[in-house]
Chains A and B, each alone.
Chain A
């Protein structure tokens, strides 16, 4: 069942208008699709993007599979991404990850049975001077300790999901031009 409404398409068309050619809107269009398809990109989502942008669907898959932030599988309501790179690592992010795995009962890259959390290890988040850093949806948490992470996880259980489109989720006002 196609999920793109005329409004979705208009949104993509508006974005496409910002570039000299239509296919340049592919990355933003995939973001929009990920939002429309509940936080991940199933085959139909890529097909719809390809159809709407008028490009080869294999190429759309090629692009979507290249970038790590396009989810190829459904993710939980909250996507906890813990930086494992150097600055965070030397300040204990491995412990943080193990703690989290233990607490949620899942390995990295997995989703809890209740579909509440997905846990991932990610590369440098650009918050190195406040390491260790954790990204959840659109929000960064810095200087994270195990205790703080516990509190955050508790709070998340009742917080709205940000997975659909980490960036869009918090956008106060869209560009109106």
Chain B
């Protein structure tokens, strides 16, 4: 039976791992055993005889009488050591992200005081933290090593054998050199790593020829083409010809495994990145390797849907076009795309994403690295849920309710004039408090700030809210990233992977990689109490913002007594931002109380603000029904479907004499409006979101605005001009600067 047990068995109780690390591949067990026995002084008699030495020599080259030609590949012009240095190769975005991650890990380790090890890579000396993988040392040294299965966020498995390099090290009193997969071997002091020896070149040519043997010739119609690691590696390292003339392996092509993901098994190179992702990162284990050997394929359980909320990430880490996005399928070639760094609009976690557009349409949303937030992942809502910005049913013109009672297109001028006129009239007839505003958890800080300023300073009311159900504001006591360090994690009343996907990934990391206890409960009950007591200061409690106030109060007390950290998690992409912008009946920008912020704002906004607290959203809708509020101004919010009491909201919308709505779509709320103003989506404007942690993150315009729509802040600014106070804003940046200055100094610091 077998060899290559050699890797394992070349060791003794005496030899250390470094030595094993460099056991020459060519050596056999016999040799190793001889060596170890000799060293251990185990054998009763006799040194190595000449005959045995000769035998060992033969083993080292088991092919003394090799047939003449040894590589027909060479005839085809296979890559050799003479070829251009590979570091000049252009890398795919994914590869660049990997290198960045490796870099930041190394810096973190260094900062944490990890012992450093010196190695040379192709003659370049580098110092890397102990335990660094050889492949990472190569990256640090600027050398390029081709790889497929290695991924800096997944455990190394050494499956694809693409990353073979030659490693030279002192062992058994001699310097020996042998070939290793550098994604699995940690560095050792004094290692000389060579990425460009003839053996390495031969191995690289060989491995790529193997991988391409059964790979279909699909590149022209493959979505991955142009940003495909397999293509790139082949160009840089592969043989230009293939000697494979047999029939390729066949599987059904383009097989949908969910609404979002399509699988092409013929293209799969069995690198197990996707299955490792499902096992190690998202923890749902929904993709698995099936069958074995050359029939190995990946798949879901008997073809059932891939229902994970993180399935889209597997598309991004797949090094070939085997897992593809159904929404991006045939939508663009990578080089036609323009990509803008932005923030996802689907939840409060605030994934950093790249919005990729072609001809003014959003075609793809990819994850972007931010170690503090989403690492490099996104959830499926983010990856596949942002296409609403392309929707044909988006509002493209202002709409006004005319004499026939129906909404008809209108010009901006007409619509805005009507709104301004109505505001002035209502205020004159019924007083400022007859007007109320509902802001948005999905508009930017800038939009909301200006909206608040208009209602407070120009209209003169505090009837201002954005909440769809009453709740307080508890800033998170830890960051998202810190959650992974807790030993006890208690989550209450949430389906964490769907409600707070990125928080979930951190929790799962703590649970699976760091052995944390994860307790799930429906309400703050005794189980929670006990878990927190047991966890002490090493525990964190995660609550959704919609829990009844008494539960939140109980949790607060509990955490205060046990030392646990409390994180109350908000739902939307800018829930924090709306609050921070001051869209609350009793808070000013920066969440400052009237008492603290009034004086500053009075002078900053150059007008005295109303003194009494306004109505919250419940109060506003009650007041509409009671006839006290005559005009509703709603920006980017849909209370008719999202309010905790939709009946109440709808009744109020119908009862209100005048309703203005700024929206993307003709929502249930917009349908009940008198004037509807079409707004730009998050992909069509610049601005700022505060995620659940209160982290300030910038969104950037990625595509032209649909139709005649305008960014919300621009609509509000226009209106303010018409109300008599022109605002000189040209960009979201101007507003953000003003927003920052609107917060009293001390608070401003806290607000960041």
Contact = CB atoms under 8 A, between A and B. Distances in A.
Interface string A33-62: 000000000010011000000011111111
B302 interface: yes
A55 B290 contact: no
B292 A46 contact: no
A29 to B, nearest CB: 16
A19 interface: no
Interface string A62-76: 100110000000000
Contact of A46 (B278, B279, B291, B301): B301
Contacts, number: 38
B289 interface: yes
A43 B285 contact: no
Which among A58, A61, A62 has the highest number of chain B CB atoms within 10 Å? A58
Nearest to B306: A58
B299 A58 contact: yes
Which among B279, B284, B288, B291 has the highest number of chain A CB atoms within 10 Å? B288
A61 B288 contact: yes
A59 B301 CA distance: 8
Nearest to A61: B301
B300 interface: yes
B286 interface: yes
B287 A58 contact: yes
A144 to B, nearest CB: 26
Contact of A65 (B284, B285, B292): B292
Given A65-B292, A66-B291, A66-B292, A43 B284 contact: no
Interface of A: 43, 46-47, 55-62, 65-66
A58 B301 CA distance: 4
Interface residues of B, number: 15
B288 A59 contact: yes
Contacts of A62: 288-290
A60 B292 CA distance: 14
Contacts of B301: 43, 46-47, 57-58, 60-61
Contact of A56 (B284, B289, B291): B284
Given A43-B302, A46-B301, A58 B286 contact: yes
Interface string B297-314: 001111000000000000
B282 to A, nearest CB: 11
B302 A65 contact: no
A56 B299 CA distance: 13
Contacts of B279: 56, 59
A61 B286 contact: no
Which among A56, A61, A62, A66 has the highest number of chain B CB atoms within 10 Å? A62
A55 B285 CA distance: 8
B310 to A, nearest CB: 14
Interface in B252-298: 278-279, 284-292
30 contacts: A43-B302, A46-B301, A46-B302, A47-B301, A55-B285, A56-B279, A56-B284, A56-B285, A56-B286, A56-B288, A58-B278, A58-B287, A58-B288, A58-B299, A58-B300, A58-B301, A59-B279, A59-B285, A59-B288, A61-B288, A61-B290, A61-B301, A61-B302, A62-B288, A62-B289, A62-B290, A65-B290, A65-B291, A65-B292, A66-B291
Contacts of A66: 289, 291-292
B523 to A, nearest CB: 25
Contacts of A57: 301
Contacts of B302: 43, 46, 61
Given A56-B285, A59-B288, A61-B302, 15 more contacts: A46-B302, A55-B285, A56-B288, A58-B278, A58-B285, A58-B299, A58-B300, A59-B285, A61-B288, A61-B299, A62-B290, A65-B290, A65-B291, A66-B289, A66-B291
Contacts of A61: 288, 290, 299, 301-302
Contacts of A46: 301-302
Nearest to A66: B292
Which among B278, B284, B286, B289 has the highest number of chain A CB atoms within 10 Å? B289
Nearest to B297: A65
Contacts of B286: 56, 58
A65 B297 CA distance: 11
A57 B286 CA distance: 8
B314 to A, nearest CB: 13
Contacts of A47: 301
A56 B290 CA distance: 13
Contacts of A65: 290-292
Contacts of A58: 278, 285-288, 299-301
